[in-house]
Structure 1
Amino acid sequence: MSRSDACVLYPFHLRNVLIQCAFDGLVEARWTDDIHGEWMRNLAANTPGLSTERLELTRDRMKTVLPEADVVNYRPLIEDLKLPDRDDRHVLAAAIAGKASVVVTWNLKDFPRRDLRPYGITSKSPDDFLANLHIAFPEALLSSARLARLNLRKTTPTIEGFINALQQNGLKKFATMLRQDINRLDR
């Protein structure tokens, strides 16, 4: 079971792959309205011309396809939690309340092992998380990656273009693994 920090829902291709993996039952996603608000605010602030309505539609679709991902009973836990960045405590609280075992985040320094260990939670970068999934469940992960590419109906990038986009999102290990299995991605 994994829990996503808002920063991993911000990049489009990464979000697409993670949501597809969760939809396919490969992982169990967990998020909150606060997490949705955070990635949506940041994406809107950094993407001129991206409408709030479009972001809300994306969030609503995510919540529709993965209704079990919503964690609602986490706020009472926030105050007692300790993290280097107090503003990230809501993420750990949601992970605890949602019974997650992993927080997937680019901000590993803000989720140190010593602060997560008492709750039975670890943190992993999205690249390590997806690379580990590929090692543990190669066929299922390749199927999810294939479907994530096909989700892009308006553009449907080539397989190489899709892998390049993932690499540009910081998924270097995962992209390398997909390149090694490129023939299996086109089935």
Structure 2
Amino acid sequence: MLMNAAIRDVLVTGYEPLIDVLELPDPGDRHVLAAAIKVGAQTIVTNNLKDFPAGRLRAWDVEASSADDFLHATVDLNPKVVFSLVQKIADSLNKPPMDVDQLLTALGNEGLVATVAALRS
């Protein structure tokens, strides 16, 4: 609900006819690929990479990336901008409050190891 309010056109519709023609190891993930194809997405960000094999995505010009790899690449594009956004996130936290270092530690604990290393450098 909050995402719908925050980002215009965030909901993907009309992807359902694609689901039946897609093949993935977990049929329950086909809707994700179908939605990506429908909107022309280049990347599916997931930590469930085994269920989105490159060979199955390549035909649709889509790739899968882990959250850490995706965010690390974003940091590489413009580290100052990403760090300023991390600072804004830290400043907005109050349950519990966190400074940037605490937030980065928490993100690292969630598996964003390369991203956090890049932001700390």
TM-score category by the smaller chain?
Answer: over 0.9
- The 2-side partners of 1:109 and 1:117 are apart by 15
Q: CA deviation at 1:68?
A: 2.1
Identity %: 37
Deviates more, 1:165-174 or 1:136-145: 136-145
SS in 2 for 1:67: coil
Letter in 1 for 2:105: N
1:122 aligns with 2:54: no
**Total equivalences in the alignment:** 121
Structure 1 match to 2:48: 107
Contact 2:12/2:35 (8 A) holds in 1? yes
Structure with larger Rg? 2
Q: CA deviation at 1:121?
A: 0.7
| 1:136 counterpart (64, 77, 87) | 77
Contact 2:86/2:100 (8 A) holds in 1? no
- The 1-side partners of 2:94 and 2:14 are apart by 36
Q: CA deviation at 1:140?
A: 2.2
Query: CA offsets per residue over residues 49-97 of structure 1, 9 Å max, x none?
Result: xxxxxxxxxxx11111013221011111101001111110010001111
The higher-RCO structure (CA 8 Å, 6+ apart) is: 1
| 2:26 counterpart (72, 76, 85) | 85
Letter in 1 for 2:95: K
| 1:174 counterpart (90, 115, 120) | 115
1:64 aligns with 2:5: yes
Q: CA deviation at 1:169?
A: 0.9
- The 1-side partners of 2:37 and 2:91 are apart by 33
Letter in 2 for 1:164: T
Q: CA deviation at 1:103?
A: 0.3
